[in-house]
Every structure is written in C-alpha cells, then in structure tokens.
Amino acid sequence: MVLPAWLALAIAIAAEVIGTSCLKACQGFTQPWPSLGAVLAYALTFYCLSLALKTIPIGVAYAIWSGAGTILLAVIGLLVFRQKPDLAALIGMSLIIAGVLVIHLGSHSETS
C-alpha cells in the first residue's frame, strides 16, 4: 500500500513532535527510554518526510512540517513541561500559522 503524501507528512510531523518531546525528557541522552523514543521517532519522521517529498514540493512540505511542529511543541511545552510562551512567542507562532495557511491554501504546485 502506498501512503498518500499528505498522510505521510502528517505522520512525519507527529513523529517529529514525539521525538523532540523525548529529547526534552532524555536529559542529554542520559535516560534510556526517552533516548530510544527520540531515535525511533526521528527515524520514522525522516522516512515519512522522504515519502511526502515524492509529491509535495520541498519548500511547501518543510514549511508545513516546521510550522506545525513549532505550534504543537509550544502546546506540549505549555501542557506537559509548564513552559509558558511570552507575547513575542505568541505573535511569532501566529505568523507561522498564517504562513502555513497561505502556503497550504494558495500553493498549487506539486511534482509528479
């Protein structure tokens, strides 16, 4: 079964968020389970991202991947790690969301 490009990108984003959360928890790779989680999650991230890039242009995929990851990690930082973003961070994340929406809704370029 071939994984659709947008689903592969969504899985890559989710895996990257899990991997980065594990990096926070592994404390410099001193904790074995979060360290293993980070390595496995990043392996899945890059595999799925490579599948998505067969169809989705690299600039569009990377903008969506990094933008969505930033927002999701900010939410996880707030809820799990009790890291409250300041006003500048909230404004910046709002601009990221706006940029991702413009790219996703306005870009019609795809490769075969």
Is 37 inside any structural domain? yes
- Please give the Cα distance from 34 to 4 (Å, whole number): 29
What pLDDT tens digit does each residue of the chain (112 aa) get?
A: 578 999 999 999 999 999 999 999 999 999 999 999 999 999 999 999 999 999 999 988 988 888 899 889 999 999 999 999 999 999 998 998 888 788 777 767 654 4
Split into its structural domains, the chain has a count of 1
Considering the domain boundaries, does residue 81 fall inside one? yes
pLDDT of residue 111: 47
**Global pTM value:** 0.84
pLDDT for position 67: 87
**Whole-angstrom distance, CA of residue 26 vs CA of residue 30:** 6
Q: How far apart are CA 86 and CA 74, in angstroms?
A: 11
- pLDDT at position 28 is 93
Determine the structural domain holding residue 55 and report its residue range.
5-106
Q: Answer yes or no: is 95 within a domain.
A: yes
According to the model, what pLDDT value does residue 110 have?
A: 53
DSSP per position, 26-90: HTTTTSHHHHHHHHHHHHHHHHHHHHHTTTS-HHHHHHHHHHHHHHHHHHHHHHTS-----HHHH
112 within some domain: no
Distance CA 42, CA 80 (A): 20
Q: Is residue 57 part of a domain?
A: yes
With beta carbons less than 8 A apart as the criterion, state whether 60 and 103 touch.
Answer: yes
